[in-house]
Amino acid sequence: MFQNLTAAPDDPILGLNEKFKQDQRSGKVNLIVGVYQDESGEIPEFQAVAEARRRLAGPHKANYLPIEGDPAYGTLATQLILGSDAPRMAQGAWVAAQTLGGTGGLRVVADFLARCQVVQTVWHTNPTWVNHQAIFQAAGLQTAAFPYLDAAGKGLDFTAMMAALEQIPTGQAVLIHGCCHNPTGVDPTPAQWQEIVTLLKQRQLLPILDCAYQGFGAGLEADALACRLVSEQIDEAVIIQSFSKNFSLYNQRVGAAIFLTKSQAEAQVLRSQVKAAIRANYSNPPQHGAAIVRTVLGDSELRGSWQAELEDMRQRIATLRQRFAASLREKCAVDFSHISQQAGMFSFSGLTPEQVTRLRDEFGVYFVGNGRMNVAGLNESNLEPTTRAIAAVVNSVVPDTVPANA
Ligand code: LMR
């Protein structure tokens, strides 16, 4: 039965990361996966997370969580993105499910939309995160793209995006990153967000906001702007959160799918359908990661410490962006100044697939094939070798000093 199978392609992000691990060159640089690394290239643990883990140590509670996960966690996660005084929370017009990271949250949303035939097509930005289409298609939904980047691939083409959104048939879904757009790092301005929300409302399109990087763009509160505008102005919407990045809990798989409804009565019906979708998938979520997040968000001291460390990370990435752009300006004939204006962990470099391949093969510098780079993978020791390698590729001359691994 299995003998005629053909191999599926490697995942463009996680598959490439496997190749990176096998690369024996000592000076290799990993700018692939959206993971925050510190100066020494390690994934740091937040002090608040370490303290929460200490507090949670003790007799193991082994019983199943509810299908939709820990309710206290769901409330705290929703308050973080909507604001602790969000009127719709007081009204009960929302449902939160604890999910297996952001990807698991997207899949719960996709399964729910498909099983309840809420929409047929999910429209996404072009480009979007490499896994978005696969997740919604796997649930049986169609996907289609609307324009996002300008012709130079460096900024938002707001006019083209709005014109395309106008044409999407009423009753379909629009998937967009609520902050820190992946893969481009290009976000709408607050004023543009307001226009987008007004249009989605007028056209009766279902917003699906993917928010995996809250705190890495303009700040923890500022990054929630799009979700809060949607929550305040549109009756029905979906938000997906991940705590992989902003809690450094990548392998704990902690996320949430938040559904906004018109009323508490509708929320109850919707909750039953979300539970049915989860039960047919992974039954119920694991406990530990969500307990860590609940402990930190529910304790003002731990929360303050977490927030301060997250803000330090955000600022470090912003500084790296400036230094990286300045170093590229010195060495390259090509303009990379857009890197300094983008937000979050990612930049869309504008490098071609051939240039990305050369960077990997000749210099051991790994980008995703579409030219996306994780700025949070740069540090004091790899920043200059990386810019020299990029200069060598885009200027098409061998640089004076090539990285040790070349
Ligand atoms: C990324 O885009 O690098 C992250 O969201 C990790 C992943 O699962 O692709």
Residue 386 makes CB contacts below 8 A (sequence gap 6+) with: 29, 31, 324, 365, 378
Ligand 1 atom showing the smallest separation from residue 103 Cα? 8
Strand partners, 131: none
- The answer as to CATH 3.40.630.30 being correct for domain 65-298 is no
Say if CB 241 and CB 81 are below 8 A apart.
yes
Residue (of 75, 106, 68, 136) closest to 272 by Cα position: 68
The CATH superfamily label for domain 14-45+315-395 reads: Aspartate Aminotransferase, domain 1 (3.90.1150.10)
Cα 263 from Cα 94, distance rounded (Å): 8
Q: What is residue 58's predicted lDDT score, i.e. its pLDDT?
A: 86
Contact criterion met (CB below 8 Å) for 117 and 273? no
109 close to 240: Cβ distance less than 8 angstroms: yes
Inter-residue contact 369 to 10 (CB < 8 Å)? no
Ligand 1 centroid, distance to 396 Cα (angstroms): 30
Sign of the torsion angle spanned by Cα atoms 368, 293, 259, 216: negative
> Looking at 272-400, which runs of residues are DSSP E strands?
346-348, 365-366, 372-374
Q: Is 21 one of the annotated active-site residues of the chain?
A: no
For the chain, domain boundaries? 14-45+315-395, 65-298
So what's the pLDDT on residue 60?
82
Q: Do domains 14-45+315-395 and 65-298 have the same CATH topology?
A: no
Ligand 1 centroid to Cα of residue 125, in Å, is: 16
Other residues' Cβ atoms within 10 Å of the Cβ of residue 156: 19
Q: Which of 10, 11, 13, 182 to mutate to test the pocket of ligand 1 (most atoms within 8 A of CB)?
A: 13
Ligand 1 contact via 13 beta carbon (within 6 Å): yes
Q: Out of 245, 275, 306, 331, pick the active-site residue.
A: 245
Q: What per-residue confidence (pLDDT) applies to 399?
A: 47
Closest ligand 1 atom to residue 32 Cα is: 3
- Give me the tens of pLDDT residue by residue for the chain, a chain 406 residues long: 999 999 999 999 999 999 999 999 999 999 999 999 999 999 999 999 999 999 999 888 889 999 999 999 999 999 999 999 999 999 999 999 999 999 999 999 999 999 999 999 999 999 999 999 999 999 999 999 999 999 888 899 999 999 999 999 999 999 999 999 999 999 999 999 999 999 999 999 999 999 999 999 999 999 999 999 999 999 999 999 999 999 999 999 999 999 999 999 999 999 999 999 999 999 999 999 999 999 999 999 999 999 999 999 999 999 999 999 999 999 998 899 999 999 999 999 999 999 999 999 999 999 999 999 999 999 999 999 999 999 999 997 544 444 544 4
CA 214 to centroid of ligand 1, rounded, Å: 14
123 part of the active site: no
Name the closest-CA residue to atom 1, ligand 1.
34
Q: What is the rounded CA–CA span in Å between residue 200 and residue 166? A: 9
**DSSP of 200-227, one letter per residue?**
HHHTT-EEEEEES-TTSSS-TTGGGHHH
Ligand 1 atom nearest residue 34's Cα:
3
- Interacting residues of 53 by C-beta distance below 8 A, sequence separation 6+: 292
For residue 13, report the distance from its CA to the centre of ligand 1, in Å.
7
34 lines ligand 1 (CB under 6 A): yes
Atom number of ligand 1 nearest to Cα 13: 9
Ligand 1 centroid, distance to 97 Cα (angstroms): 21
Residue 392, sorted as left (phi over 0), alpha (psi -120 to 50) or beta, turns out to be alpha
The dihedral built from the CA positions of residue 124, 82, 310 and 68, taken in this order, carries a sign that is: negative
Kindly give the distance from the C-alpha atom of residue 294 to the centroid of ligand 1, in angstroms, as a whole number. Answer: 23
64 Cβ contact partners less than 8 Å away, ≥ 6 residues apart: 283, 284
- Give tens-digit pLDDT for 79-133: 999 999 999 999 999 999 999 999 999 999 999 999 999 999 999 999 999 999 9
| Contact indicator for 78, 96 with CB cutoff of 8 Å | yes
Three-state SS for 243? coil
Residue 33: CB within 6 Å of ligand 1? yes
R_g of the chain computed on alpha carbons: 21
Q: Please confirm, yes or no, whether 245 is among the known catalytic residues.
A: yes
> Could you read off the pLDDT of 209-223 as tens digits, one per residue?
999 999 999 999 999
Catalytic-labelled residue, pool 70, 111, 187, 210: 210
Task: Scan for tokens 């990029």, then name that residue.
Answer: 390
Residue 202: the pLDDT is 98
User: Of 94, 129, 193, 306, which is the active-site residue?
Assistant: 129
pTM exceeds cut of 0.75: yes
Q: Is 129 in the pocket of ligand 1 (CB under 6 A)?
A: yes
pLDDT in tens, 226-250: 999 999 999 999 999 999 999 999 9
Cβ(118) – ligand 1 distance below 6 Å: no
List the beta bridge partners of residue 238: 208, 259
Q: Tokens 């993978």 appear where?
A: 377
User: Is the peptide bond between 169 and the residue preceding it cis, with omega within 30 degrees of 0?
Assistant: no
344 within ligand 1 shell (Cβ under 6 A): no
Per-residue model confidence (pLDDT) at position 396: 78
- Measured by CA distance, the residue closest to atom 4 of ligand 1 is 34
What integer pLDDT is reported at residue 46 of this predicted model? 98
